[in-house]
């Protein structure tokens, strides 16, 4: 009897070891992403995406993603994040205080995805429709205690040795500065950049260029046309063939602007434009097979709902509850190697690790403790409020 018990235990141990070995072997056999295209719709939660689908009646690129999850966006200081804290969380392991860029609540710089991938020998790029110095893109390369330090952020971009291309607006922060420095001239003469003011006639073989296409933010989608999809195509032509792969961050910046203004036509235009840019990324990933595409948002803006005011369920209007941000969760969409990780409920700080895992780069951090900020808790809510 004792012998049988011993043999049974031995068999269970062996089965467990074999299962663990098989699991490890399967994990090792999973294809790894060589390239990452990380796309952020500023202010974009599920209501904005669905509103654009309703308004256009068209299929959108969001519907093609096989893996979808839910992302909690609170910052280290508030239940409602701003774009600086939200962007820092999305590109690092860290929650931080609102307004802080690329550093933790103690003002210690954090290591971002862009920095990790550069250290791994990958080429990197940024494409936005706001200032290139605006909060979200700045989080990937700059370290400042306040997001409105635009000229300091511009200097850090100019002096960065880990960025191959940067496309967006914000030229005034480079050549109309309080210190009277013409940073564009310095970028070209001393820092190895080629600087353009349009997407036309770019030498895509150039390995370090900036396109500063507007003094301020780019115009709205209705005026700028296909700038964003073209910019993504241009960036991919430059980064394609990078020996060790690439990392490209793309922001649909003005979804947020539209929702701050409670302007539904503007919002739909920006969502459609962002969807076209996503389609460019998906087409590239499908063709190359070693590219992970991740789409998410830093926060929701506007508190968008779509009711029938008469309660008849026959008409839909777009209603906004605020001209600011909300604490609503946002979505994450993933396609390509490692995309299966992006399901369920997650913190925004989890996305960096999942992307690195997809690339076979587990456990690369900066040694700083992860600050998760406040957990979901009761806040000041008037539960007696009734609809009028």
What is the mean pLDDT, run by run of 10 residues, along the chain of 388 residues? 56 56 54 98 98 94 98 97 98 96 96 97 99 99 98 98 98 97 98 97 92 98 98 98 97 99 98 99 97 99 96 93 98 98 98 97 72 52 45
Residue 383 lies in a domain: no
Residue 373 lies in a domain: no
- Sign, CA dihedral 201-202-206-211, equals positive
Q: Is 301 left (phi over 0), alpha (psi -120 to 50) or beta?
A: beta
* Residue 92 to residue 115: CA distance in whole angstroms: 10
Please give the pLDDT value at position 207: 87
Which positions ≥6 away from 91 have C-beta within 8 Å? 112, 113, 114, 139, 140, 249, 352
Strand pairing report for 300-301 and 325-326:
antiparallel
Residue 34 lies in a domain: no
Which two tokens mark 65? 């993603």
- Sign, CA dihedral 163-177-254-372, equals positive
* Residue 41 to residue 89: CA distance in whole angstroms: 15
Alpha-carbon distances, residue 20 vs 11, 66, 361 (angstroms): 14, 27, 21
| Count of structural domains, the chain | 1
Which positions ≥6 away from 84 have C-beta within 8 Å? 96, 98, 99, 100, 101, 135, 138, 139, 147
Which positions ≥6 away from 319 have C-beta within 8 Å? 304, 305, 306, 307
Domain of residue 181, residue span? 50-358
- Sign, CA dihedral 152-156-159-165, equals negative
Decide: 73 and 298 in contact? Cβ < 8 Å: yes
Decide: 95 and 89 in contact? Cβ < 8 Å: yes
Residue 340 lies in a domain: yes
- CATH number, domain of 326, equals 3.40.720.10
Dihedral angle computed from the Cα positions of residues 255, 150, 218 and 332, in that order, rounded to the nearest 10 degrees:
-30
Alpha-carbon distances, residue 329 vs 163, 282, 300, 345, 371 (angstroms): 31, 24, 7, 9, 19
What 3 state SS string does 99-168 have? CCECECCCCCECCCHHHHHHHCCCEEEEEEEEECCCHHHHHHHCCECCCCCHHHHHHHHHHCCCCCEEEE
Which positions ≥6 away from 351 have C-beta within 8 Å? 71, 90, 294, 296, 332, 342
Residue 67 lies in a domain: yes
| pTM, full prediction | 0.90
Three-state SS at 77? coil
Catalytic residues: 83
Please give the pLDDT value at position 383: 47
Residue 43 lies in a domain: no
Please give the pLDDT value at position 362: 77
Residue 231 lies in a domain: yes
- CB neighbours of residue 138 within 10 Å: 31
* Residue 143 to residue 156: CA distance in whole angstroms: 8
Please give the pLDDT value at position 386: 43
Residue 280 lies in a domain: yes
* Residue 386 to residue 304: CA distance in whole angstroms: 18
Q: Is 3 left (phi over 0), alpha (psi -120 to 50) or beta?
A: alpha
Angle at 275 between CA 272 and CA 279, to 5 degrees: 140
Decide: 249 and 40 in contact? Cβ < 8 Å: yes
In the chain, % helix, strand, coil (3-state, to 5) comes to 40, 15, 45
* Residue 227 to residue 291: CA distance in whole angstroms: 23
């Amino acid at each position: 009897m004792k012998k049988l018990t011993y043999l049974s235990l031995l068999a269970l141990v062996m089965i467990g070891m074999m299962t663990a070995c098989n699991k490890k072997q399967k994990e090792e056999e999973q294809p790894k992403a060589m390239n990452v295209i990380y796309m952020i719709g500023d202010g974009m939660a599920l209501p904005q995406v669905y509103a654009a689908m309703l308004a256009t009646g068209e299929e959108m690129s969001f519907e093609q993603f096989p893996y979808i999850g839910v992302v909690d966006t609170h910052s280290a200081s508030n239940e409602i994040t701003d774009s600086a804290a939200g962007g820092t969380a999305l590109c690092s392991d860290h929650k931080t205080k609102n307004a802080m860029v690329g550093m933790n609540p103690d003002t210690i710089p954090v290591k971002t995805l862009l920095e990790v991938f550069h250290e791994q020998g990958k080429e990197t790029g940024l494409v936005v429709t706001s200032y290139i110095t605006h909060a979200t893109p700045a989080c990937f390369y700059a370290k400042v205690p306040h997001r409105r330090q635009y000229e300091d952020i511009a200097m850090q971009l100019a002096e960065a040795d880990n960025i191959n291309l940067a496309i967006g607006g914000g030229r005034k922060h480079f050549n109309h500065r309080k210190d009277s420095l013409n940073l564009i001239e310095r970028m070209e003469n001393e820092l190895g950049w080629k600087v353009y003011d349009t997407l036309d006639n770019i030498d895509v073989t150039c390995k370090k260029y900036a396109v500063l296409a507007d003094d301020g933010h780019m115009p709205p989608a209705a005026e700028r046309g296909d700038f964003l999809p073209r910019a993504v195509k241009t960036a991919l032509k430059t980064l394609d063939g990078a020996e060790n792969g690439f990392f490209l961050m793309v922001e649909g910046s003005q979804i947020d602007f539209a929702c701050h203004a409670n302007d539904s036509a503007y919002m739909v235009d920006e969502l459609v434009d962002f969807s076209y840019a996503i389609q460019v990324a998906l087409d590239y990933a499908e063709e190359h097979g070693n590219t992970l595409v991740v789409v998410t948002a830093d926060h929701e803006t506007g508190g968008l709902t779509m009711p029938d005011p008469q309660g008849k369920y026959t008409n839909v209007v777009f209603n906004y509850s605020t001209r600011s941000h909300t604490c609503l969760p946002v979505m994450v969409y993933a396609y390509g190697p490692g995309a299966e990780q992006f399901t369920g409920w997650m913190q925004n700080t989890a996305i960096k690790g999942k992307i690195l895992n997809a690339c076979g780069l587990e456990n690369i951090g900066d040694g700083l403790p992860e600050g998760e900020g406040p957990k979901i808790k009761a806040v000041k809510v008037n539960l007696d409020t009734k609809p009028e």
